[in-house]
Each structure stands twice: as C-alpha cells, then as structure tokens.
Structure 1
Amino acid sequence: MKLVVLSANPNLYSTKRLVEAGKKKGHEMHVVDHTKCDLVIEKKKPGIVYKELEISDVNGVIPRIGASVTFFGTAVVRQFEMMKIFTATESQALVRSRDKLRSLQILSRAGLGLPKTVFSNYSKNVGGIIDKVGGAPLVIKLLEGTQGLGVVLADNRNSAESILEAINGLQARVIVQEYIKEAKGADIRAFIVDGVVVGAMKRQG
C-alpha cells in the first residue's frame, strides 16, 4: 500500500520509526509536511497539492500533527477524509484530543473515573472553586497547555487563590482539578484498540 505520514519534521524519531515499520511490512512510505499543503475545494472534487503536485493514489494516512498547528493540520486530515482516504486518526478525534475540557466531558459521559474538575468563565469566586474540588492541594491547568506545560500544583489555599486570581487577570482559561495524592505525580497512558488495552506507558512528573 501507498501510505503517507503527515509530519512537519521527517527527522523526528517517531516519524522515522513509522516509516521504517511501514517499509518493513512492504508498504510504500512517504512523509508529507502538512503545513506546506494547499487544499483545493470544489464541488465533489476535493484535492491536496504538495510541492506543486496533486496527491493521489494514496491508500492511507498516518497523522503526526503538532499542537501548534492543530487547526491547519486538522483541516488537512479532514481533506483526506473528504477524498475517501483512510486516516489512522480521524479529524474529529484529533480536535477532541487537543481540547482538555471536551476530553474530560467525553470521559465523564463514558463513566470513567476522573479527579473532581471545575471549569469556569473567569469566575471571581475562586474560594468556591477551590472548595468544589476538595480544597488544596489542587492542580491548575491551562486549557491550551500541552506536554505538562501550563500545569501548576498549588500546595495550599493561599497559593491556589493567588494563582487563580492572577490567571483570571490575564483572562486565560483554566481547569481546576482535585489532586490525587496516591498517584505521586505519575500517570499511565493506555493505548486501546477496539476496547482492548494493547499497550501502556507510565509518565512520571
């Protein structure tokens, strides 16, 4: 099969490993920088142009979209979907995964255990928010943060109030979460395929 890996950097370890694994299985592998694609939209004939050539005869796409280019990267993935080309990560799943609040809402609806979480629209009632998650210590996360950036552990109530008031002053959106002491700063990422855990990794903060 002819497969395309969407990646802005072909030298990334994850990108190179995907290409190597694909070639080992006998597939024709290509790396396409999605940030340099042009999307052609016309009646019932969507297309993608890369390096002045129209992409065609592709059997599948493996998106590796960085957080900083989520909007355009998602548009490229959606364009492949419109072209009836299989994508390993659907555009809707990509958008949801980059939205912390939406992800929590989906997990909550599915009945998964979650730390108590509060999201508000620049509420001045910081004391009430702190109480709703069980008091300090608590975790404050910027909605736009990724890879651990924009995450703060407030050890006590005064610290939590000061941080929330400062963030409100900057009009930055945050979620406030209960601190799970038993986790000891670690979390486990599970990879699930068709309802079955096929792999997992532990991240230590």
Structure 2
Amino acid sequence: MRIGILSRNPTLYSTQRLVNAAHERGHRVEVIDTLSVTVHIGRTDAQPGKPQRLVGNAIGLAGTTLLPEFDALIPRIGTSVTFYGLAVVRQFEAMGVMMTASSDAIARSRDKLQSLQLMVKDGLPIPRTAIIAQPDALYAAVEAIGGLPAVVKLIRGTQGRGVFLAHQLSTIATLLQRVGELNRQAILQEFIAESRGQDMRLIIVGDRCVAAMERRAAPGDFRANLHRGGSATALEPDKSTVALAVAAARAHGLGVAGVDLLSSKRGPLLLEVNSSPGLEGIESATGADVAGAIIDYVEKMAAVKRR
C-alpha cells in the first residue's frame, strides 16, 4: 500500500515510528507537511465524472505538483494548525482516501465541550462540567459542579496548557474575563481530589486497547501530563475501564484515539479524547508497539474498503 502521513515534522518520534512500522510491513510511506499542501477546489482541468485531485506545494494553478494517490492516510494534525489541517483532510475525504480519522472526528475531539457533550449523550461518565456566558451565573455554576476548588479549562488546548485549578470564585472570574478578552472559551469542571494528581491514558485502535499507562503529576502540580513534567508507568486497566475508553473513541468516530480517564469515588471518569495521541511516552512506559498496531489497523481498514 501507499500510505500518507500528515505531519508538520517528519522527525517527530510518533511520525518516525509510524513510518518505520509501515516500512517493516512492506508499505510505501510519504510524510506530508500539512501546511505545504495547497487545496484547489473546482479545478478547471478536472475531467468530467472523475474526482478532483489535491495539489501540493503549489501557488495558483500553474506549475503544480500533484500528490500521488494514497491507499490510506494517517492525519497527525497539531492543535495550532487545526483549521487548515481539517481543510486538507476534508479534501482527501472528497477524493475517497481511507482515513484513520475523519475531519469531523478530529473536530469533535478538539472541542472539549462538544467532546464531553458527545460522551454524555452516549451515557458515559465524566466529571461534572459547566459553561457560562454571564458573570452572575458563576456562583451557581460552581456549586452545581461540586464547589471549590474547581478546574478551569480552555475549550481548545493540549498537553495540559490552558488548565487551571482555582480555589476562589474571584480567581475563576478573573480567568474567565481574561479568556474572553482573548476571544477564547473555557469550561468549569469538578475537581476530583481523590485522583491525587493521577490519571490514565489508554490507546484505542479499532475496538482494542493496545497500550495503557498511569500518569502522575509532578510535585506541586495537579496535571498529570508528561509534557508538564509528569511521570508514567505501564497499566493493566480492567475490562470496564477499557470498555469506557472504546465507547469514548466510538462516540467521536475515531478509529485511533488516546483516551484520558480519572479514578474517582464514582468510578472511572472520562476526561478527554485525543485524535493524534503521542506515541513516545506510552511506548516508553509500556514497551508496546503502538505504531505497529496502528499500521495493522490501516491494513485491515484498507482491505475492507477494497471489498
């Protein structure tokens, strides 16, 4: 097969692992810088009845270079290029290329509020969450999620950035005001004290958990993200936790996902679903061949499409 990987940086660990795993299985692989792709819509040289082609590394219509036809595409769209990345993914979809994550699925996972709404719609457990538009609704909203302290999260953020623990209403009000001034949005979320700065990351591929780790926050922090200085160890999740993670990935329409959960007195709670989970931390912590599992999934889905 010819497999394309959308990635801003071909030297990133996750990208390199996917490339190597594909080569080991005899596939041709091309890493495409998402921002190097020019999407031409309504090309004048398209042949009637045939799909229009995606054009890369081009300005205008003259002297363009057509990208090769791919049997499958793995989108690794960074948060900072979400808008343009989704446009590129949609164009590949219009061309009929098999994707490990659709543009709609990526968009759902990038919006933390929509992501939580999707999971609740499917009856999945999450921390109590609220969003407000008026300052005078703050007190009631905080009480509804369990009181102080409370977590304030940017709706669009990654790697623990834009996540704050607030112990006073005045702090939350100030954070929300500053977020609004930046034309951003935030949610209020219940603080799960009993998690003690620990969470779980499960990698779901298809309907299987191929790797899992427990993350611990750095001293003095409540965020367990590895990019925030946290540490990780391999985890053997129970069947109910795996079932929750699989259901969360399915709720977003993702075939490959990193699903984050917290332990609580009410049982495991779903935090986030990541459409482009990093592979370095979890492969290092567990020794699992996550990249290989993803390529195996691509092979399986491509075979289904050919039938």
* TM-score normalised over the length of structure 1: 0.90
Match of 1:28 in 2: 28
- 2:159 counterpart SS class: coil
Q: Is the 8 A contact 2:132 2:138 kept in 1?
A: no
Equivalent-residue separation in structure 2 for 1:82 and 1:98 (angstroms) = 21
1:197 aligns with 2:209: yes
Equivalent-residue separation in structure 1 for 2:56 and 2:180 (angstroms) = 42
Q: Which moved more, 1:42-51 or 1:14-23?
A: 42-51
* Residues 118-150 of structure 1: CA deviation (Å, up to 9, x unaligned): 012244322112111111011001112221111
1:187 aligns with 2:192: no
1:136 aligns with 2:145: no
- Structure 1 residues 1-205: aligned runs within 5 Å: 1-42=1-42, 45-51=51-57, 52-167=64-179, 172-204=184-216, 205=223
- State the identity as a percent: 40
Q: Is the 8 A contact 1:122 1:173 kept in 2?
A: no
Equivalent-residue separation in structure 2 for 1:70 and 1:63 (angstroms) = 11
Equivalent-residue separation in structure 1 for 2:165 and 2:90 (angstroms) = 37
Task: Name the count of aligned residue pairs.
Answer: 205
Equivalent-residue separation in structure 2 for 1:53 and 1:76 (angstroms) = 16
Unaligned 5+ runs, structure 1: none
- 1:197 counterpart SS class: strand
Q: How far did residue 62 of structure 1 move?
A: 0.7
Q: Is the 8 A contact 1:46 1:79 kept in 2?
A: no
Query: C-alpha root-mean-square deviation of aligned residues, in Å?
Result: 2.0
- The structure where strand makes up a greater share of residues is 1
* TM-score normalised over the length of structure 2: 0.62
Q: Is the 8 A contact 1:122 1:168 kept in 2?
A: no
Equivalent-residue separation in structure 2 for 1:100 and 1:12 (angstroms) = 25
Kindly provide the amino acid, as one letter, of the partner of residue 117 in structure 1.
T
Q: Is the 8 A contact 2:34 2:85 kept in 1?
A: yes
Q: Is the 8 A contact 2:5 2:29 kept in 1?
A: yes
Q: Which moved more, 1:116-125 or 1:28-37?
A: 116-125
Equivalent-residue separation in structure 2 for 1:128 and 1:64 (angstroms) = 39
Equivalent-residue separation in structure 1 for 2:163 and 2:40 (angstroms) = 39
Kindly provide the amino acid, as one letter, of the partner of residue 155 in structure 1.
H
Unaligned 5+ runs, structure 2: 43-47, 58-63, 217-222, 224-307
Equivalent-residue separation in structure 2 for 1:50 and 1:169 (angstroms) = 37
